[in-house]
Chains A and B, each alone.
Chain A
Amino acid sequence: MQSSLESLSNELAKLVEEFQSDVVAVHARSHYPSSGVHWRPGIIVTADHTVRREEDIRVTLPTGKTVNATLAGRDSGTDIALLKAEGLGSPATQRGDGSPAPPCGIGELALVLGRSPDSGPNASLGIISALSGPWRTWRGGRLDHYIRLDATLFPNSSGGAVVDCRGRILGIATSGLSRIAGLAIPASSINRVSDVLLEKGYLPRGYFGIGVQPVALPEALRTSLSLPNKSGIMVVSVEPGGPADRAVVLLGDVLVSLGNTSLEQIEDLQAISDSGVIGKPLNAKLIRAGSLQEVTITVGERRGE
C-alpha cells in the first residue's frame, strides 16, 4: 500500500510531468536564461524583466530544440512580455481564470515550474503565502490579484508556470515585482494584457504630460472651497506641448478631481490613466491662487515602456 507521503510525491511528479510540456526556457539576457509558458497557440508569455534584449531571442522547447522567437509585445508595469515562436502548436494544459479562490487559497501548495536548457524541467514547491485583490505594482501596472509565493525562486524561475492545488496554471512566477518574495502574475491579468499587447505591442496608458506630488489641503481652504478632499495633487512640472500644457494647466496648480473622480493621491491619477480614457476630454478641477478653476484636458497616449 502506498503511504500518503508516496501519493503526495507521485501527485507532485505527475503535475510536473503534465505541465512541463508547456514550459520553455527563454534566452533573452546574458548568463541565466529565464522560463516562459506556452500560453496561446504560438505565443509564449514570460516575465518582462527577464527580457533584456529585443533581438536575438531564442526559446528552448520541451523537446530540447532551441528555436528563434520574436518579441510580440511587452509591458514593464505588469512585468508581462509576449514572444512568438515557430512550431509551437497549441498549449496542452489548462489555464485557470487567475482567481485563486478556495480551495486554492492561502496555505495551499503551489508549484513553480521552469525549464533550464542544461537539465530540462525544474520545479520548486511552496505555498501561497499571501493573497489579496487588485493592486498596483511598483512598476505602475495593475494586476488583478496579489499572490505571494513562498517557493524559492531561482535565477531561471521567473516566467515559469505557477500551478495551483486544482492542477491549473494560476499565472506566471516573477521575482521582479517584490523584494521579499516571488509573486504570481495572475492568469486573468495575463489574458487581459495579452489581448492588448498582441494588437498594439505595448500597453497604452493615458498621458497628461505633468509631474505631480500629493499635498495636504489646509482645513481653511477645504472649507472655503467646500471640498471633500483631504489632499490634492500638485503639478510640479508640465511637459511643453503636452495634453495638460495645451489645456493651460500651470505649475503649482493643485488638481482635486478629474472627470468624476476625486484626486487625493498619485494612485488615483494612475487609476484613471489605465481606464480607457485615451483621446477623451476630461473635466479637471484645480485650485489656482486660492480659488477653484476648471480646465478640459484631452488625454493623450503614453506607450508603456
Chain B
Amino acid sequence: MALEGFGQIAEQLRRSTVQVASSSADGRGQGSGIIIRSDGAIVTNAHVANPERSRRVAGHSRLVVRLWDGSSFPASLQVRNARRDLAVLQIPTTGLTPATLANSENLRVGELVMAVGNPFGFIGAVTTGIVHAIGRRPGLGPTKWIQAEVQLAPGNSGGPLADARGNVVGVNTMVAGGLGLAVPSNAVARLLAGDLNQAPLGVVVHPAIVPVAGRKRLGLRILEVVRGSAAEYASLRQGDTLVGIEGQALRSLDDLEQAVEGGGDRLLRLEFVRGDPNKVRSVAVRLIVSQVADPERGRRAAMA
C-alpha cells in the first residue's frame, strides 16, 4: 500500500511556508517562515528577522516575505525574542493559508515529522524523518528542543516542522550533531500570547577563563547590559565578569541560564569581578520573571 499523506502534507505545508529575506535580494540572510494567521502574521526565527543584520546587508532594515505563489510583501517586525530565537512578522495582505499549530507537549519520540523550508534559497524543499529526542541539548542551556532526524540546511531556519497530520510542532532553528533542532510550537503559542519572557536578567555574556584571587576559573564577561533590565538596575556594567551564583562558582553557561529561568519573581545573588581580579563583589538582582515586557515595572521593583 502506498503511503498516502506525505505528498499531501507537503503540498499543504508549502502553502503556509514563506521565504524571509532582506530586501537586498543578494541571497544573504534568507530564511523561512510560517504563516500563522490568514491576515498576514508570520512566525520565524529571531536570527532570520534580525534588523541589525538586514541593515548591514541592505543598508536599511526592510524585510521581505515571499509567498509560495511568488508574490512578495514588505514585512514589519512585531515581536522579537532572541532568547527563544522567535519573531513575529506582519505582512499587509489577507486570505493566506495559515498552518495549524499542534500542542508540542503531545509530541512523542519516534513520531514521523516533515520539515519544509528554503535551504540555500531553494524554495519549498521537503525532508522527512522521525523525532529523535525531545529535551535539553548539552551546551544549549535548559531550554527544550525538538531534536529531529531531518536534513536541514541554512535557509530552513524559521520554517515549519510538522507531524504526520501536517500540524506544526516546531520551528526549525538550527542543526546540531546531525540533528535538526526545532523550537517547540508551544513556545510560539506563548510568544503570541505575550507571556514568553524576554531575558529576565538582561545581559549578553561571553564565557572566558579569568584569574580570580590567583586561580583561573570560568567567568561570564558581560558584553552588553540591556537598558531598563534587572541587571542595569542592579548596577552591573559592561566589562564586569560574573563568576558565581548564590555562592556557587560558575561551571558553564547553563548555570546562569538555569538560575535565571523560571521560579517566579525573586532575588538572585550574583558574584562578579570588576577591575581588581582579587576582589569578588556581590550583588542582589531582582528578577521579574512574570512580566518583563514592561521595563518600568523592573525599575520600580529594583528601586523598591
B-binding residues in A (CB < 8 A): 3-6, 8-10, 12-17, 20, 111, 116, 118-125, 152, 154-155
Contacts and interface: CB of A to CB of B under 8 A. Distances in A.
A14 B133 CA distance: 14
Contact of A12 (B3, B110, B138): B110
22 contacts: A3-B4, A3-B165, A4-B5, A6-B5, A13-B110, A14-B110, A16-B109, A17-B110, A116-B135, A118-B135, A119-B133, A119-B134, A119-B147, A120-B133, A121-B133, A122-B133, A123-B133, A124-B149, A125-B129, A125-B149, A154-B132, A154-B179
Contacts of A152: 149, 178
Contacts, number: 90
A20 B134 CA distance: 13
Given A119-B137, A154-B177, A12 B111 contact: yes
Nearest to B140: A118
Contacts of B163: 9
Interface in B41-75: none
A13 B111 contact: yes
Interface of B: 1, 3-6, 9, 108-112, 129-138, 145, 147, 149, 163-165, 177-179
Given A9-B163, A13-B111, A119-B137, A3 B5 contact: yes
A4 B3 contact: yes
B131 to A, nearest CB: 7
A122 B164 contact: no
A256 B174 CA distance: 60
A144 B276 CA distance: 67
A5 B177 contact: no
Given A5-B164, A119-B137, A122-B133, A16 B110 contact: yes
Nearest to B110: A16
A122 B111 CA distance: 11
Contact of B131 (A14, A17, A123, A154): A123
A189 to B, nearest CB: 26
Nearest to B137: A118
Contacts of B109: 13, 16-17, 20, 120-123
A124 B112 contact: no
B22 to A, nearest CB: 34
A118 B138 contact: yes
A246 to B, nearest CB: 54
Nearest to A122: B133
Given A12-B112, A17-B109, A125-B130, 13 more contacts: A5-B3, A5-B5, A5-B6, A9-B110, A12-B110, A15-B110, A16-B108, A118-B135, A119-B136, A120-B134, A123-B109, A123-B131, A154-B179
